[in-house]
Amino acid sequence: MGDRRIVVSAVVMRDDAGRVLTVRKNGSGLFMFPGGKLDDGESHAAAAVREAREEISVELDERSLRRVGTFAADAANEPGHVVVAEVFEHPLVGDPVASAEIAEIAWVDPADRSRDDLAPLLRDEVFPLL
């Protein structure tokens, strides 16, 4: 059966209104944080910086990342798997745009409980803390 865990890094960035940047990947109906799987030998922080560059075309400063915590939830796009995310917060930089495999970005109020298009990690684990 193998390991059912998917280890990722994710980044929380907020706008002036306190909304959080989320991304929807091609072929997915759910929004999640920018981020993704680590490359071999890569630190969580380095992966967060690389994924932000690839997915939303912004350059994060690794020294400005603040660790929020480690969270686990059902994987949004891979049934039967659990995503284990090291989540960082970073000040908003640049002008995030959908790049690479990202179909769409959305700014989401973490207090908005009416949305049904958020990945379980955001909805159930991280947003309640924010």
The pLDDT tens digits for 54-96 are 999 999 999 999 999 999 999 998 889 999 999 999 999 999 9
Residue 90, domain extent: 5-129
Q: For residue 55, what is the domain's CATH number?
A: 3.90.79.10
What pLDDT shows up at residue 99? 96
Q: Which residues of 82-113 are buried (b: 16+ CB within 10 A; e: fewer)?
A: bbebbbbebeeeeebebbeebeebeebebeee
Tell me what pLDDT residue 1 has: 47
Across the chain, what does the average pLDDT equal?
95
Q: How many domains does the chain have?
A: 1
Task: Evaluate if pTM is beyond 0.85.
Answer: yes
